[in-house]
Structure 1
Amino acid sequence: MKNAVSRYSPTRSWRSNHEENLPIRKLLAVAAAALFLGAFGFTPQGGVRSASAQGATHETETVYTTPDGFLLGDPVPGAYATLVRNRNGLTTSVHTLVASGPGPYTLWWIIFNDPAACVTYLCTFDLPDLAVNAAGKIVPPGGVANFTGRLSPGGPYSGEVVIGDPDIGLTNPAGALVTLVIRYHGPAIPGMIAQQLTYHSGDFCPTAGFPCIDEQIVVFPGECGSSDPCSDPNAL
């Protein structure tokens, strides 16, 4: 039997979604992640966590599609993301295959510093402490995309901050719940590519009928304890 999982993506009009706070009850079936070596040459390793002698933790999670900006859809075959946590911050690397077409994509950090304080599963309806641009790149035809990003505690942050106080920012790199969102910004628009690679929304989104969409999501649960709502799929 397939597992039913739902997950809110803060990047779908973050502020309005939080203000409305409408419960999302629709569940999607999540298929088991498949081994995919063709175009990538790598193996997915969802839910892997290890610690180094230097005090850093290394985590690997599956990349999921998101059909509407709220839910975890199917795993992206062969795609995975890594996260390294240490006292100096977070470092991520995402290896995936995007499907919306060639053009500019952005990667976003969504940070919940204290996931144990969240009242919903995976902090679904909780306001993030920080939502900030992590990276942007032009993805060529074929869709193979690799992103890297670094986030330090307390800012300042070079990327656009959509939610949160940039003077506070990340305060718990060791235990924060970290969501990564990959967002498509439509075909590259001459004269606007820099904005498409750095901003969440703008005049470029509705151009030529191509809205900006959240395509993929990764979740690193952090300090979600087994008895906390953030670990309970029924807490929605």
Structure 2
Amino acid sequence: MKTLKLLPILLITGLLFGCESYTPVSPESELAIAELQLDAAAKVNTKSTADIFNFVTGDLIGKSTLHRNGNGITVNFKTTGLMPGHAYTLWWVVWNKPENCATPGACVESDFANALNVEVQLLYATGSIAGNNGKGNFSAHLKENDDSGSVHEIFGLPNFGGLQDAHAAEIHAVLRSHGPKIPGQVGEQINSYEGGCVVNFPAFTEIPDEAGECGDIIAAIHGPL
């Protein structure tokens, strides 16, 4: 009889301690978890490559590699076809809201007219003098929210704080020619947008070949992820 009395107690004990507890997850919590997972995935290291074109001649002249992570972007821009002894600067053209371009995710120069919505920012990347082989190897890094290299005031654009989101932005790497190096002005030529410039050709229309001539001639386009 004692064994029979103990049986209900053992069953109750097993129910209390032998089963795992379960707390239902609300749909709102599931959505929040999913958003966190997506955000974490977006911050991983990514790599993309893009063709480099001389947009004046239409020639394919190299490859651009862009690395992105939660801290910013790094570019390696390898090109041929440069003028030996000429000064060049590489520029970031950051379209922070590429979805607002006339063709979403495929921004072009005319989208500058919609700057307040696309939040485009132009920033200095790096610069150098081309060697005798006409090859260029430009590397630069841009941190998120770093606008120290911005030249927005030259174009009458607002300052949007630099690169807002490394993965969401459309990135154009643009190479600008400052013509032949000018003694005493080389530092300005390879470190500023207007260094050594007397004549500024409209973007992608003419290749500078005389001292004092400048123009954007070469670019690679990395779309948003």
What TM bracket, shorter-length normalisation?
0.5 to 0.7
Superposed displacement of residue 200, structure 1? 1.5
Rounded Cα–Cα distance in structure 2 between residues aligned with 1:120 and 1:54: 25
Q: 1:194: which partner in 2?
A: 187
4+ aligned runs moved over 6 Å, structure 1: none
Separation in 2, partners of 1:176, 1:110: 10
Task: Give TM-score, length-normalised by structure 2.
Answer: 0.65
The separation in 1 between residues aligned to 2:48 and 2:83, in whole angstroms, is 27
Q: Give matches, 1:87-166, under 5 Å.
A: 87-120=70-103, 122-124=106-108, 125-127=110-112, 129-158=120-149, 160-161=151-152, 162=154, 164-166=157-159
- Residue 74 in structure 1 maps to residue 63 in structure 2: no
1:159 deviates by 6.1
Q: Aligned partners of 1:137, 1:203: CA distance in 2, in Å?
A: 14
TM-score, scaled to structure 1: 0.63
**Greater helix content:** 2
Q: What is the aligned counterpart of 1:212 among 209, 214, 217?
A: 214
Mapped to 2, the partners of 1:191 and 1:119 lie a distance apart of 43
- Partner deviation per Cα, 1:183-223 (whole Å, 9 max, x = no partner): 11111111111110112125534495551122211000114
Q: Is the 8 A contact 2:180 2:211 kept in 1?
A: no
**Residues matched between the structures, number:** 166
Q: Map 1:165-204 to 2 at 5 A.
A: 165-166=158-159, 168-204=161-197
Q: 3-state SS of the aligned residue for 2:82?
A: coil
Distance 1:208 1:216 in 2: 18
3-state DSSP of counterpart to 2:44 = coil
Give per-residue Cα distances to partners, 1:90-132, cap 9 Å, x unaligned. Answer: 1000111133342211100001012111113721121262101
Distance 1:159 1:140 in 2: 27
The within-5 A match list for 1:31-50 is none
Distance 2:197 2:111 in 1: 29
Question: In 1, distance between residues paired with 2:212 and 2:196?
Answer: 11
Alpha carbon RMSD of aligned pairs, Å? 2.6
Contact 2:86 2:130 in 1 (8 A): yes
Contact 1:155–1:167 at 8 Å: present in 2 too?
Answer: no
What fraction of aligned residue pairs are identical, expressed as a percent?
28
> Could you say if the C-alpha distance between residues 136 and 199 of structure 1 is closer, same or farther in structure 2, counting changes exceeding 3 Å?
same
Q: Which runs of 5+ in 1 are unaligned?
A: 1-51, 224-236
SS state at 1:218 partner: strand
